[in-house]
Amino acid sequence: MDALEALRGRRSVRAYDTHKEVPRADIEEVVDCGRLAATARNEQPWEFMVVTDAEMRKRIADITQHGKHIANAPVCIAVFCADSKYYLEDGCAATQNMLVAAWALGLGTCWVAGDKKEYAGELGTLLGVPPDKKLVSLISLGYPASVPVPRKRPLQEVLHWEGY
Protein backbone atom coordinates (compact mmCIF):
# COMPACT_ATOMS: atom_id res chain seq x y z
CA MET A 1 0.00 0.00 0.00
CA ASP A 2 1.41 3.41 -0.86
CA ALA A 3 1.58 6.28 1.63
CA LEU A 4 -1.34 8.27 0.20
CA GLU A 5 -3.61 5.23 0.17
CA ALA A 6 -2.67 4.45 3.80
CA LEU A 7 -3.32 8.04 4.87
CA ARG A 8 -6.70 8.16 3.12
CA GLY A 9 -7.84 4.76 4.36
CA ARG A 10 -6.70 4.72 7.98
CA ARG A 11 -9.49 4.66 10.54
CA SER A 12 -9.70 4.32 14.30
CA VAL A 13 -10.45 0.67 15.03
CA ARG A 14 -11.85 -0.39 18.39
CA ALA A 15 -12.95 -3.94 17.52
CA TYR A 16 -10.27 -6.55 16.89
CA ASP A 17 -10.09 -10.16 15.73
CA THR A 18 -9.11 -11.66 19.08
CA HIS A 19 -8.11 -14.98 17.49
CA LYS A 20 -5.42 -13.55 15.23
CA GLU A 21 -2.01 -12.80 16.72
CA VAL A 22 0.04 -9.95 15.32
CA PRO A 23 3.49 -11.15 14.20
CA ARG A 24 6.38 -9.69 16.20
CA ALA A 25 8.04 -8.53 12.96
CA ASP A 26 4.96 -6.42 12.12
CA ILE A 27 4.93 -4.88 15.60
CA GLU A 28 8.60 -4.03 15.25
CA GLU A 29 7.98 -2.54 11.80
CA VAL A 30 5.24 -0.32 13.20
CA VAL A 31 7.41 0.86 16.11
CA ASP A 32 10.34 1.42 13.77
CA CYS A 33 8.16 3.80 11.73
CA GLY A 34 7.42 5.66 14.95
CA ARG A 35 11.14 5.88 15.67
CA LEU A 36 11.66 7.51 12.27
CA ALA A 37 9.15 10.32 12.86
CA ALA A 38 9.95 14.00 12.57
CA THR A 39 11.43 15.35 15.78
CA ALA A 40 12.32 18.87 16.91
CA ARG A 41 16.06 19.44 17.02
CA ASN A 42 16.45 15.70 16.33
CA GLU A 43 15.97 15.05 20.05
CA GLN A 44 14.11 11.76 19.53
CA PRO A 45 12.74 11.84 23.09
CA TRP A 46 10.56 8.77 22.65
CA GLU A 47 10.46 5.35 24.24
CA PHE A 48 7.99 2.72 23.05
CA MET A 49 6.61 -0.01 25.29
CA VAL A 50 4.82 -2.94 23.64
CA VAL A 51 2.34 -4.79 25.83
CA THR A 52 0.93 -8.12 24.61
CA ASP A 53 0.14 -9.72 27.96
CA ALA A 54 -3.66 -9.97 28.23
CA GLU A 55 -3.81 -9.25 31.97
CA MET A 56 -1.63 -6.16 31.64
CA ARG A 57 -3.70 -4.87 28.69
CA LYS A 58 -6.82 -5.30 30.81
CA ARG A 59 -5.23 -3.34 33.66
CA ILE A 60 -4.25 -0.57 31.24
CA ALA A 61 -7.78 -0.51 29.79
CA ASP A 62 -9.34 -0.32 33.24
CA ILE A 63 -7.24 2.73 34.13
CA THR A 64 -8.08 4.73 30.99
CA GLN A 65 -11.21 6.74 30.32
CA HIS A 66 -11.66 6.02 26.61
CA GLY A 67 -9.39 3.03 26.08
CA LYS A 68 -11.51 0.10 27.26
CA HIS A 69 -10.99 -1.57 23.84
CA ILE A 70 -7.28 -2.00 24.69
CA ALA A 71 -8.26 -5.06 26.70
CA ASN A 72 -9.45 -6.80 23.51
CA ALA A 73 -6.65 -5.68 21.21
CA PRO A 74 -3.79 -8.16 20.86
CA VAL A 75 -1.23 -5.37 21.31
CA CYS A 76 -0.95 -2.04 23.10
CA ILE A 77 1.91 0.33 22.35
CA ALA A 78 2.57 3.00 24.95
CA VAL A 79 4.48 6.06 23.76
CA PHE A 80 6.52 7.84 26.42
CA CYS A 81 8.81 10.82 25.93
CA ALA A 82 11.48 12.55 27.94
CA ASP A 83 10.19 15.84 29.30
CA SER A 84 11.62 18.25 26.74
CA LYS A 85 10.32 21.43 25.14
CA TYR A 86 8.70 19.61 22.20
CA TYR A 87 7.99 16.18 23.73
CA LEU A 88 4.29 16.35 22.87
CA GLU A 89 4.80 17.29 19.23
CA ASP A 90 7.50 14.64 18.83
CA GLY A 91 5.48 11.93 20.55
CA CYS A 92 2.40 12.76 18.50
CA ALA A 93 4.40 12.62 15.27
CA ALA A 94 5.69 9.18 16.26
CA THR A 95 2.16 8.06 17.15
CA GLN A 96 0.74 9.19 13.80
CA ASN A 97 3.54 7.44 11.92
CA MET A 98 2.70 4.20 13.72
CA LEU A 99 -1.03 4.52 12.98
CA VAL A 100 -0.38 4.90 9.26
CA ALA A 101 2.31 2.18 9.16
CA ALA A 102 -0.03 -0.26 10.89
CA TRP A 103 -2.80 0.44 8.39
CA ALA A 104 -0.37 -0.14 5.51
CA LEU A 105 0.35 -3.58 7.03
CA GLY A 106 -3.35 -4.43 7.28
CA LEU A 107 -3.59 -3.68 11.00
CA GLY A 108 -6.07 -1.48 12.80
CA THR A 109 -5.23 0.99 15.55
CA CYS A 110 -6.82 3.51 17.84
CA TRP A 111 -5.02 6.43 19.47
CA VAL A 112 -5.87 6.82 23.15
CA ALA A 113 -4.80 10.04 24.84
CA GLY A 114 -2.13 9.95 27.50
CA ASP A 115 -0.64 13.40 27.96
CA LYS A 116 -2.28 15.48 30.66
CA LYS A 117 -4.66 12.65 31.59
CA GLU A 118 -5.01 12.02 35.32
CA TYR A 119 -4.12 8.37 34.75
CA ALA A 120 -0.78 9.09 32.99
CA GLY A 121 1.33 8.75 36.15
CA GLU A 122 -0.49 5.62 37.26
CA LEU A 123 0.12 3.98 33.87
CA GLY A 124 3.79 4.90 33.98
CA THR A 125 4.10 3.32 37.42
CA LEU A 126 2.18 0.21 36.31
CA LEU A 127 4.54 -0.24 33.37
CA GLY A 128 7.69 0.51 35.39
CA VAL A 129 8.57 3.59 33.37
CA PRO A 130 10.97 6.09 35.00
CA PRO A 131 9.09 9.09 36.43
CA ASP A 132 10.94 11.54 34.17
CA LYS A 133 9.12 10.10 31.10
CA LYS A 134 5.72 11.46 30.08
CA LEU A 135 2.94 9.31 28.62
CA VAL A 136 1.98 10.79 25.25
CA SER A 137 -0.33 8.10 23.89
CA LEU A 138 -1.54 4.54 23.97
CA ILE A 139 -2.16 2.71 20.71
CA SER A 140 -4.34 -0.37 20.49
CA LEU A 141 -3.21 -2.60 17.63
CA GLY A 142 -4.55 -5.71 15.94
CA TYR A 143 -6.40 -7.09 12.96
CA PRO A 144 -9.71 -5.24 12.58
CA ALA A 145 -12.93 -7.13 13.27
CA SER A 146 -14.76 -4.16 11.76
CA VAL A 147 -13.76 -0.79 10.35
CA PRO A 148 -15.93 2.27 10.93
CA VAL A 149 -16.53 4.73 8.11
CA PRO A 150 -16.79 8.15 9.74
CA ARG A 151 -17.85 11.22 7.81
CA LYS A 152 -14.91 13.43 6.97
CA ARG A 153 -15.32 17.11 6.23
CA PRO A 154 -14.77 17.86 2.53
CA LEU A 155 -11.50 19.49 1.50
CA GLN A 156 -13.31 22.60 0.24
CA GLU A 157 -14.73 23.11 3.74
CA VAL A 158 -11.37 23.08 5.51
CA LEU A 159 -8.90 24.47 2.96
CA HIS A 160 -8.17 28.20 2.96
CA TRP A 161 -5.86 30.01 0.52
CA GLU A 162 -3.95 33.16 1.41
CA GLY A 163 -6.00 33.76 4.57
CA TYR A 164 -9.03 32.56 6.47
- Residue boundaries of the structural domains of the chain: 3-147
Which CATH number does 3-147 carry?
3.40.109.10
Residue 4, exposed/middle/buried by CB under 10 A (0-12, 13-18, 19+)? exposed
Q: How confident is the model at residue 1 (pLDDT cuts 50, 70, 90)?
A: confident
Q: What is the pLDDT of residues 39-93, one digit of tens each?
A: 999 999 999 999 999 999 999 999 999 999 999 999 999 999 999 999 999 999 9
CA dihedral (147, 149, 150, 154) positive or negative? positive
Q: What is the phi/psi pair of residue 133, to 5°?
A: -100, 140
